[in-house]
Amino acid sequence: MRLIVLAVALFALAFPAAAEDAAPRVLSPDDAALYAEILELQADGRWREADAAVARVSDPVLMGYVKMERLLHPTAYRARYEELREWMAYYADHPEADKIYSLALKRRPKAASPPLAPVRRKWRSELSPPLHPDLERDYARTSRPRLTQIEGRVRHLAGKEQASLALKEIDGHLKRGVITERQYDRMRSWIAASLYYQGYQARARDLADAVAGRSGDSAVLAYWISGLIHYRENDI
């Protein structure tokens, strides 16, 4: 439980709730524990208990993820088009919005108005604080156009379920000195997150564990993915 609480808190610190929300925050211990409980309940399809826990949450910063996991549950929940469209209305800038959008298009009735299309978050294409000081220094001395191209390529491949190719490419960039070790691990944390949300839990766990163990301070998303998976595997 301690690991998942830390992971949730770090995740909230790393990613503001919306693009215009520039001030990061760490969840309170109570909210971090509640989010961990909610995710576990939803994984088991225990919706009423999850709803009761949601009602006790004070800080809604991770509610987009909570609702997304319910809507995309593989067996215990079938999302209605109205729910998917509503989610897009509130969370179009969410990093996983393309998944909800794609499902919404498939389930859209002919007479229904279309869902809002995904909107790129500012932090997805540009650096936005807070970054670890060492990582900030790495970015300051790296070719920004080249790095932007590499990061965009990684996100594209990861989203297309081509994690192996993404990892191979950044391995080459690291060996040639194009990116630093911290930048490399930060991108690996994005790949781990994509693997997890695509259902490749074992691969996501191994990659997130490796990143968190070496560069957790500068690739905090790895803590979230690692903690979430270990919690669900009862390995806490």
- What is the per-residue pLDDT for 94? 82
Q: Which domain, by its residues, includes 179? A: 131-220
The answer to whether position 230 is within a domain reads: no
The pLDDT of residue 197 is above 50: yes
Read off the pLDDT of residues 97-156 as tens digits, 9 standing for 90 and up: 899 999 999 999 998 888 888 876 544 444 344 677 888 888 888 877 788 889 888 988
Query: Does 69 share its domain with 152?
Result: no
3: closest CA among 32, 41, 27?
Answer: 32
Query: Does 144 share its domain with 115?
Result: no
N residues, the chain: 236
Over pLDDT 70: what percentage of the chain? 83
Highest mean pLDDT among 10-24, 63-77, 219-233: 63-77
The answer to whether position 1 is within a domain reads: yes
Query: Does 176 share its domain with 97?
Result: no
Query: Does 105 share its domain with 137?
Result: no
6: closest CA among 236, 234, 223?
Answer: 223
- What is the per-residue pLDDT for 204? 93
- What is the per-residue pLDDT for 236? 53
- What is the per-residue pLDDT for 108? 96
204: closest CA among 152, 163, 162?
Answer: 163
- What is the per-residue pLDDT for 217? 83
Longest dimension (CA), the chain: 54
**How many separate domains does the chain show?**
2
- What is the per-residue pLDDT for 121? 56
Contacts with 202 (C-beta within 8 Å, 6 or more apart), sequence order: none
pTM: 0.51
Q: Is 18 left (phi over 0), alpha (psi -120 to 50) or beta?
A: beta
CA–CA gap between residue 211 and residue 226 (Å, rounded): 9
Query: Does 136 share its domain with 116?
Result: no
The answer to whether position 189 is within a domain reads: yes
CA–CA gap between residue 81 and residue 236 (Å, rounded): 36
- What is the per-residue pLDDT for 92? 81
Residue type, 57: V
Which 3 state secondary structure label does DSSP give 58?
Answer: coil
- What is the per-residue pLDDT for 119? 76
Is the separation of the CB atoms in 150 and 173 below 8 Å? yes
Query: Does 39 share its domain with 155?
Result: no
